[in-house]
Amino acid sequence: MPPTVFPRAAGPTTMDPVANDQGAPTGDRPTEPLTQYTQRVNQRVRAFDRRHPLLWDLHFTGFWVTAALIDCADGGWRYITHNPDAPGWLLITLSVALSAPLLWRRTHPAAVLLTTFPFALVNSWTGTALQASLLQLVVLFHIALRLPLRNLWWASAVTLTPVVVFTARYGEGEWNQQIGGHLMSVVVAVLIGITVRTRQNYTEALLDRARRLETERDQQARLAAAAERARIAREMHDIIGHNLSVITGLADGGRYAATKSPERAAQALDAIGTTSRQALGELRRLLDVLRDDETSHPAERTPQPTLTDLDQLINGVRGAGLPVHTTVEGRATLPPGRQLTVYRVIQEALTNTLKHAGPHATAEIALSYGDQGAVRVTVTDTGATTHAPVPSDGRGLPGMRERSALYRGTLEAGPRPHPEQGWRVHLHLPEETPQ
């Protein structure tokens, strides 16, 4: 028995990218909401108007001039006029005079209203009652939209004066009933203009605020980038500069020891290799942090040095040939940030001694811990007093002072007082202020 074949149902299926019974497409492209479509069209129209304002004004004015002339030509004005025998030249003159000035309604709305005012009076006094006089409401809308609001008083009076003249000359019944409708039209035109004006001012304020926020965000990003670059440069100077100074001292010492004690020269070479590998590893970790490639391996992160690492630092300096004597008073109870500052200042001071103090210099470190994070550090050497504590790149002493300023500390660096010879670096970090 052959299989039964069922006919395919007519109409769209869930797999067809066509509209369903509610009018929404079932394909990959979602329906654009009506509000978004309207806003997009409105933005395009406004953008075109900003680029070609005269073209839009010509179309707008031409439409109303044509409508006013058609009202005269087909005799529609006769249904509401009190002067059906008005001459044709008067009808054409009033129609053009009341509609053509709309071309300048946006640039000079007050002048347009005053220009059409005499013709509106003639229209009311003669009883012609052309509907083109209602175009003054358009001008009144632009006055409320563009000029100071104090102009609305006289502009409303100018708009209502022809109505009062017509009512006094041809009106029948109660005045409030005859003028009330026109007064309501004036109020509506003014309110619409004020509403649109308020909305425009609010939108402009939002756009200005968004621009200022964007500018502030960019400035903060640039400041943060500059601060980060300065921090990275300071870290590279402290880490790499110190290690290279140690390597230089070891190399100089190994060169002198090579002729007298080959074993000491071999030890110096081993120390150079260890120090250089350590510097290379720290440099690699720092560069890994700077890389923003998502495909790269996560950077290896190590904690910042603390005061417990001072012994390793001092031993490295001693291995480079600089005798260092250390004196400690009190107990180290500093937070990590202050410990890093003390460590870097000592490291920089010893590095400068290795660079500039000469081959027979010695160094002395005096640490004094106080309460609530207070600390005093003094690093002195017995080298030549002529050496400069600031290296050629200008980052040594400024970097130490920047670190000290973070904790309201002070840093002094300069030659030791006469007759002593050498250099002195003194750091003072005051007590921590309660938050």
**Looking at residue 240, what is its pLDDT?**
67
Residue 57: CB partners within 8 Å, gap ≥ 6? 102, 103, 104, 105, 106
Phi, psi of 98 (to 5 degrees): -85, -15
d(CA 427, CA 394) in angstroms, rounded, equals 19
pLDDT value for 354: 80
pLDDT score, position 434: 62
What pLDDT does 1 receive? 39
Instruction: Identify the CATH homologous superfamily for domain 306-435.
Output: Histidine kinase-like ATPase, C-terminal domain (3.30.565.10)
What pLDDT is stored for residue 267 in this prediction?
66
Q: How far apart are CA 178 and CA 163, in angstroms?
A: 9
CA dist., res. 159 & res. 120, Å (int):
9
Distance CA(238)–CA(231), nearest Å, equals 10
Q: Could you list the pLDDT tens digit for every one of the 435 residues in the chain?
A: 344 444 444 444 444 443 444 444 444 455 667 888 888 887 888 888 888 888 888 999 999 999 988 888 877 777 777 888 888 899 899 999 999 999 999 999 999 999 999 999 999 898 888 888 999 999 999 999 999 999 999 999 999 999 898 888 887 766 777 788 888 999 999 999 999 999 989 989 998 999 999 888 888 888 887 776 777 666 666 666 666 767 766 676 666 666 666 666 666 676 777 777 766 776 666 666 565 555 445 545 566 788 888 888 888 888 777 889 999 988 877 888 888 888 888 888 888 888 787 778 889 999 998 887 789 999 999 876 555 444 444 457 777 887 788 888 899 988 888 788 888 999 998 888 765
CA-CA-CA-CA dihedral for 382, 383, 387, 388, to nearest 10: -40
Q: How far apart are CA 388 and CA 352, in angstroms?
A: 8
pLDDT at 227: 75
Q: What is the pLDDT of residue 257?
A: 61
Task: Give residue 85's pLDDT.
Answer: 82
Listed by start position, the domains of the chain span 46-172, 306-435
Give the global pTM: 0.51
Classified as helix, coil or strand, 424 is strand
- Compute how many other C-beta atoms are within 10 angstroms of the C-beta atom of residue 201: 10
Question: What DSSP string describes 350-375?
Answer: HHHHHHHS-TT--EEEEEEE-STT-E
Q: How far is CA 59 from CA 50, 54, 107, 112, 331, in A?
A: 15, 9, 16, 17, 87
* CB-neighbour burial class of residue 426 (10 A; exposed 0-12, middle 13-18, buried 19+): middle
φ/ψ of residue 417, rounded to 5: -65, 145
pLDDT score at 88: 86
CA distances from 224 to 227, 228, 352 (A): 5, 6, 30
